[in-house]
Each structure stands twice: as C-alpha cells, then as structure tokens.
Amino acid sequence: MKKFLFYLFTLGLFSNYAFSSDSIYVARYKGDKACAISYTFDDGLAEQYTLAAPQLEKRGFRGTFCVNGAKVNKDNKHITDTTRVTWTQLKEMSDKGHEITNHGWAHKNFSRFPLEEIREDIVKNDSAILANTGVMPRTFFYPNNNKKEEGKRIAVQNRVGTRTKQRSIGRKSTPRDLEKWVATLIATNDWGVGMTHGLTYGYDAFPNPQRLWDHWDKVKAMEDKIWVGTFREVAAYTEEQKHTRLDIRQQKKGLIITPQLDLDKEIFTEPLTMVIQKEGVRKMTARQGKKKLAVHKIGDKFIFDFNPFGEAIKVYFK
C-alpha cells in the first residue's frame, strides 16, 4: 500500500528493535483497511430516514445524507411534502452518527445563478442544518453535480471536502456491477463514494431496495478490508493523513513519536491510525499524554488510533 507521508526521522541505533520509515506510518485509511466506502443519499427523501438509515445501522454503518433546507418539513405536525424528511428526523439521524450535509438551500445549479445567490444558498443551508441538528456541515455536495469553478471556491470554504466524484448505486447498478466496484476499490486502495436518491420512489429508485441491503451484507462480510465511513469522516481522515508528519525518536525499550499537523483542528477532527510493523515483538503499549491507547496486533503489525493534534506518543515493546 502506498504511503503518503513524510517523516522527520531521528532514530538512533536499536539493539533489539530496528525500524525504518516504512515500518512506522499513518495508515491510509482508518483501522489500516484496504479501502474506504461512503454511502451518500441526495435530496432528503423521507424513506432515507425510514428505510436506508435503519438498514445502515443494522450493519453498524453510517451514511451521509445531503439535504436542501427549503424542502425539509418542519416536523411531523407540519408536513408540506410527504416525500421529504423532517428536521426532527434529521436531528435523530445526526444523533445516531449519520452525517447531515449541505446540498444547497434550494438546489441551485451553480451554472445558472449569480455567485452571490450561490453563496447565500450555501450559507443559508449551513445555518439551517446547524440550527436543527446542532452540527455544522463540513462537507458540500454540488446540486446537479455542477462544479463551476467560481462556485467551488465558495463551497470549499471551511470544509474538509466536497463531493467531486461519485458512483451511482441506484436502479442502473446490478449486483455484479457492485461486486466489481468493491473488488476494484480493494485492489487499488481507493475511496469509493456511492450515490443514490430514491429507494422505492424518486430519481434512480430501485425496483426493490433489497438489492442494496444485499450489497451491504457483502460489504459487511469484508469489513476486515473495508472502512465504511461517512463522507466527512473519510474526507477529513485522508486529508489529515496526507499532511501529518511524525517525529520519531528512540527511548529505552521503545519510541517517542510526536505527530505534527498544521490543518485547522476545529474542522479536522478525525483520529488517525498508526501502524508499527516489526517481527519478533510480542506486545506493545502506547500512551498519548495521559491517555492509554488501545493497541491491536494483526500479524506483525501493531495498530492504534491517535490524535494527530495531540501530545507525543510513548511506545514500549516487550
């Protein structure tokens, strides 16, 4: 797996534990998985709450739901469009770990409106999502997938990422297509972004959504290789991973590893996974500041999650 990381390496001589820059690194994806997948749902359809979210949760997954605030119902007592979610439902989904993100207040195509209208559309939707879910959206999904450069410069501000590529997983997809997609992601160590709108109605709706549930069952069976994360989680993780530097120093019976990251820690909040690979080591413990980190051994690799903005990590070997 290719590693996008530079090191400030100051290792001395290790009598029992010899390491190189290739044996200590930040994993490309959380948990040192081979690939990542984010499942995204557009336009805030009601059945994304009633059908998709529960099915994701059943498998331990969380999805990303991009909404247009102008079309979201206030609550269950004030339904103006039965095909759309309510703010109450979105709050519940957010509380359960799903990402609720910005698709423009009124779904304005970037190529058809002045920049100031686009800016207002984005900011208004940010404010509505924050007010109703308590979470500021840190990603943006382009209405009609139009990525006009002038509009993009507005959309990317204060974000961890915007959706610039996606793969339809709706009506036009087949079980074989989806299997091939996942196999390719694993083989190429890529991040796949699946997109759909409707489940039983609306754009690209399935003849039967069981096709999607079956796909998720297959992905769940390969969770040792696949990280299913929200778009925000994966976008933030991959950006942090690219920019994190490690200052690695020798200490008695171990290492002191100091992470360095210059991104905005108010926006980039994902823990990263460190990998230390060494044969002949039976046990490893790690502590970042006063926090003991959970270390897992997989073959000759030790992995643990850490805060890239945090204190030095003290590692001991046995």
Mean pLDDT calculated for residue range 164-177: 95
Beta carbons within 8 Å of 61's beta carbon, 6+ residues apart: 39, 216, 220, 228
The pLDDT value given to residue 147 = 84
Phi and psi (nearest 5°) for 93?
-65, -45
Tell how strand 245-251 and strand 254-260 pair up: antiparallel
CA atoms of 126 and 118, how far apart (whole Å): 12
Q: Residue 210 above 60 pLDDT? A: yes
Question: How many other CB atoms are found less than 10 A from the CB of residue 39?
Answer: 25
**d(C-alpha 81, C-alpha 68), whole Å:** 13
Report percent pLDDT > 90 for the chain: 83
- Predicted confidence (pLDDT) per residue in 3-53, tens digit: 444 444 444 333 344 455 559 999 999 999 999 999 999 999 999 999 999
Tell me the per-residue pLDDT of 236-277, one tens digit each, with 9 for 90 and over: 999 999 999 999 998 888 999 999 999 999 999 999 999 999
Could you tell me how far CA 193 lies from the centroid of its own chain? Answer: 10
**pLDDT band per the 50, 70, 90 thresholds, residue 57:** very high
Alpha helices in 40-174 (DSSP H): 46-47, 53-58, 87-95, 115-133, 149-155
Amino acid 118: pLDDT:
94
User: Distances from the Cα of 58 to the Cαs of 52, 170, 222, in angstroms?
Assistant: 10, 20, 16
- What's the pLDDT tens digit per position in 179-209? 999 999 999 999 999 999 999 999 999 999 9
Taken in order of first residue, the domains within the chain and their CATH numbers are: 7-31+236-317 (no CATH), 35-223 (3.20.20.370)
